Amino acid sequence: MATPLAPEADWIRVRVSGKINLALRVGAVRPNGYHPLATVFQSVSLFDEVGVRWDEPGRFTVSVAGDQADLVPSDGNNLAVKAAKLLADHYGPHRLGAEITIRKTIPVAGGMAGGSADAAGALLACSVLWDLDTSPDDLRGFGAKLGADVPFQLMGGTAFGTGRGDQLVPVLSRGSYHWVLALSEDELSTPAVFRRFDEFNPEAPDDLPLPNEVMNALVAGDAVALGDALINDLEPAAASMRPGLVRVLETGRELGALGAVVSGAGPTCAFLAANEAAAVDLSVQLSSEGLCRAVRRVTGPVPGARLITA
Ligand code: C5P
């Protein structure tokens, strides 16, 4: 007699990572509401897990567990559901359906593209579940329709992004970097931070400076130079909306970080440590300052969306 398949065998699971921006240069808002960017992304080892299994045609559900799960929409507004529907609409509108689960550790609305990571995970997982004939390029194309960060969240590693941040080329990066992340008590709305950036920068340039210092430091594998080169044009806007961020950044620097930067639109702050031992020290001391919700120690670069095999 054949053994019935364990329920776990019905599921396709994908691991997705958070990102930080090592450089984020921002230009003047365009008529479509987006800002041109010149950014260097790095994926770091803070992971969400996205699982999918077949559901009735046209039925798409999501359940969310883990850190801050209550802050994530569990209806059609969830970006992973939108991702599954986008693929289904393209490949089999009356044939495909999915039950989605998300386990979160990437902070919600924290500037680490957690929602985009979950969308990237759903795209990859559904394409495998439904046995679709999609290439990585196809998936990145679908991803760009869902959000500016989704293509990078599919790809992972270290990449230079232009356009809305969705035109990507891999960046040569030597070595592994040790980061300490300060997770904030509350969230920041990305569109609101960009609007504040517009108020602060009515003359933002069209020609964005290339983040050459960051790229050179990565090629050399030079953590000290990278710490000096970290830059984020959204930082003043984010800090004006969460004044406590200035203190968090200063504290990390005083405690010996090689560099400190707000990640993306914030409010997560990223501190570069010289090595693993320095990262352990920094994370313990930063925790004891009580300035943030939680402190996480991560490394980067790590891969983007990847299937979890049994
Ligand atoms: O693409 P995504 O939906 O993730 O972007 C969220 C918001 O962030 C956009 O609606 C826009 O307000 C802002 N944004 C921007 N310029 C970018 C990326 C995002 O203004 N390059």
Q: Flag whether pLDDT at 116 surpasses 90.
A: yes
Residue 196 Cβ inside 6 Å of ligand 1? The answer reads no
State pLDDT tens for residues 271-305: 999 999 999 999 999 999 999 999 999 999 999 99
Distance CA 260, CA 297 (A): 14
Residue 148 Cα: closest atom of ligand 1: 1
Residue 36 Cα: closest atom of ligand 1: 21
Residue 33 Cβ inside 6 Å of ligand 1? The answer reads yes
Residue 37 Cα: closest atom of ligand 1: 21
The residue contributing the CA closest to ligand 1 atom 11 is 191
Residue 166 Cα: closest atom of ligand 1: 21
Residues 6+ apart with CB under 8 A from 131: none
Residue 298 Cβ inside 6 Å of ligand 1? The answer reads no
Catalytic positions: 19, 149
Q: pLDDT band at 310, cuts 50/70/90?
A: low
| CA 35–ligand 1 middle distance (angstroms) | 7
Residue 35 Cα: closest atom of ligand 1: 16
Assign residue 58 a region: left if phi > 0, alpha if psi is -120 to 50, beta otherwise? left
| CA 59–ligand 1 middle distance (angstroms) | 28
Please give the DSSP secondary-structure letter assigned to residue 29.
P
Q: pLDDT band at 5, cuts 50/70/90?
A: low
Radius of gyration of the chain from its Cα atoms, rounded to whole angstroms = 19
Distance CA 281, CA 180 (A): 10
Q: Flag whether pLDDT at 189 surpasses 60.
A: yes
Residue 46 near residue 304, CB atoms below 8 Å: no
The residue contributing the CA closest to ligand 1 atom 2 is 147
| CA 114–ligand 1 middle distance (angstroms) | 14
State pLDDT tens for residues 222-266: 999 999 999 999 999 999 999 999 999 999 999 999 999 999 999
Phi, psi of 161 (to 5 degrees): -120, 135
Residue 12 near residue 87, CB atoms below 8 Å: no
Q: pLDDT band at 92, cuts 50/70/90?
A: confident
Q: How distant is the alpha carbon of residue 46 from its chain centre?
A: 9
Amino acid (1-letter code) at residue 309: T
Distance CA 282, CA 298 (A): 12
The residue contributing the CA closest to ligand 1 atom 13 is 191
Percent with pLDDT over 70 in the chain: 98
Residue 79 near residue 109, CB atoms below 8 Å: no
Q: Distances from the Cα of 20 to the Cαs of 93, 216, 272, in angstroms?
A: 35, 18, 11
The residue contributing the CA closest to ligand 1 atom 8 is 191
Arithmetic mean of pLDDT over the chain: 95
Detail the DSSP E strand segments found in the chain: 12-26, 37-54, 60-66, 98-104, 158-162, 167-170, 177-183, 231-232, 259-262, 269-273, 294-300, 306-307
Q: Flag whether pLDDT at 2 surpasses 60.
A: no
Amino acid (1-letter code) at residue 28: A
Distance CA 19, CA 269 (A): 12
Residue 34 Cβ inside 6 Å of ligand 1? The answer reads yes
Q: pLDDT band at 4, cuts 50/70/90?
A: low
Best mutation site among 32, 34, 234 for ligand 1, i.e. most ligand atoms within 8 A of its Cβ?
34
Cα distance from N-terminal residue to C-terminal residue, the chain: 24
| CA 255–ligand 1 middle distance (angstroms) | 33
| CA 155–ligand 1 middle distance (angstroms) | 19
Residue 190 Cβ inside 6 Å of ligand 1? The answer reads yes
| CA 38–ligand 1 middle distance (angstroms) | 14
In DSSP notation, 127-172 reads HHHTT----HHHHHHHHHHH-TTHHHHHHBSEEEEETTTTEEEE--
Q: Collapsing DSSP states into helix, strand and coil, what is residue 226?
A: helix
The residue contributing the CA closest to ligand 1 atom 15 is 34
Q: Flag whether pLDDT at 56 surpasses 90.
A: yes
